[in-house]
Structure 1
Amino acid sequence: MTWLVTGGAGYIGAHIVRALAAAGMNPVVLDDLSSGHDGFVPGGVPLVRGSILDRPLIERTLREHRAEGVIHVAGFKYAGVSVQRPLHTYAQNVTGTRLVLEAMAAADVAHLVFSSSAAVFGTPDVALVTEDTPKHPTSPYGQSKLIGEWLIGDQGVATAGSEHPLRHTSLRYFNVVGSGDPAVYDSSPHNLFPLVFEALLAGKTPQIFGDDYDTPDGTNLRDYVHVADIAAAHVVAAQRLSSGAPIEPAYNLGSQNGLSVREIMDAMARVTGIEFTPVVGPRRPGDPDRIVATGELAARDLDWTNRYTVDEMVRSGWEARRRAVA
């Protein structure tokens, strides 16, 4: 039996694929390579090139590989850009998720781990976010992830009395950084770590997007979590689904300890040895002031823990990116 990973050639998906393979869970990747890289897929792991909007392809892949479950990572993940491209965002993240669910139902595949996001919370008015914190997304991206959770929950209810009831969980990522394998790096043109790395590699000064947020130093305060920890949590979630163990409908994969963008910049200079004073630019639309989560439920059920310091996060990501250009 195998697990299909949609978006498995991307930064996060490729780490999940490696973690599944290490656990003997036979991953198969479905990816259109619009933002992923075929070189991120390990040798021996099947790569099916195609879109999550291609329902027949998803169903065919599930059947051909006798998939036991799906880890649905594929989607459009840029909150700021989603404000300018809402229709594209909803097509990829809402329609795409619906089609994955349809294909799973047709192929009698009943286990699903969904890649959700801290963006479902918007700008919470609490110091630490829990799974029950009210959801008020501030971007089409956040809205699309929340709708995805609703779709999956409704399908779970609809199939509860069937021969193959959908068992599922949604893992809400916070700021995923670092690298667990030097062959895989974050190539996003919008995420903080790769933006800083690209600037440093080009001899340019990194930029902070806004310093007038309602935080102690004026820059966004976020949870930063290592991608290898994120991948490990997916493996445990998949194993719980397969075994029939109890599982919550959603988990926050947070660190409980936020860091500001300015603090990340300080770590960047410290680890890379490149001194710089970041340029301050305008805010990006859809970016909340602060969002930090407890992660207590995930620690209880998914062996979730933060195994890396901020310097280790920066160092692993920097080394992977430099290797790519070596």
Structure 2
Amino acid sequence: MPRIEVGGPTPYPVTVGSGVLDTLSVPERHVALIQPEDLPRAFVERAQAALQPTLTVSVPARDACKTLDVYAGVLSRLAAAALPRDAAVVGLGGGAATDLAGFVAASYLRGVAFYTVPTTLLGMVDAAVGGKTGVNLPEGKNLVGAFWPPRAVWCDTDTLSTLPGAVFREGAAEAFKHGLISDPSLLPRVLAPEFRPGGALLEDTVADAIAVKAGVVTRDLTERGERAFLNFGHTLAHALEGVTHQAIPHGEAVAYGMHYAARVSRAQGGADLTPDTLAFLRWQRPSSLPALTYDDVAPYMARDKKADADGVRFVLLRDLARPYLTRVPEAVLRAEFGGWQDDVARLD
């Protein structure tokens, strides 16, 4: 059973494998279990049996839970239950639910212990590791939050067998991204038939994708440097989510965003990795996009968290596993958006 260590000021383990859900254990006597309302009841009951939580709080599914209203409501539930300072919050579910749970843990009584149990591929390889927590605003994704690392992460690969195929493929975008920015061996594995729930490549591929992120956040927890590389493809992705009011799932938006970033990378003198990003888009089969112009998405990209006083910065690739952060002339961004639209249209 793979176990990845995330280092830094507050190190913690990530355990990956079958049956992990039944091994959950925390030292805190009082536990608040936060889980999305659409989570299979069997997962909730297994977590409850292992943790014996003081209270279980159900929240809306997916990004509908990442709002200030839901966040405030969960805090009120914890306060009404008189959850003490030495309690723990456990986030069970997909990346949205664990993002919310972490922000609750970071702010309730100015911070209590946090543990996370991701049940989706996206949650396992991205959201649950790294300590980024938060909620969305109407103006954009993840604009309110805190860095609050968990004390442990448990990834039960059995939970992936309940995901619809489209949701599993959505989560694979982050694993593929980790291949582009750091470990190219992930690229063929993610696209292989054996990378599926119950497949021979599942457990080790998930663990290796997590290891990429674990290494980056160990070296740069608060995104002062290379952690920004984990946002490859995310500048346009978050814009697509914002302009469609979250109608495009995150992992599908990232797949679209990676292809755009690959085109911009090529235009800025980098290697041509667009065949790889197109191959992933064809494998993932993301939802169709509405008709959009560059001017529709530009305001959202301007609010990207990598932006500073001088404007938007993009994560690009000089070649596989050679990411860098840079500013790109707007004329290039606009021209590549048109080419990207043509490529996307040919996917249908």
- State whether TM-score is above 0.5: no
Greater relative contact order, per chain length (Cα 8 Å cut-off, separation 6+):
1
TM-score by length of 2: 0.28
Whose helix proportion is higher, 1 or 2?
A: 2
| TM norm structure 1 | 0.30
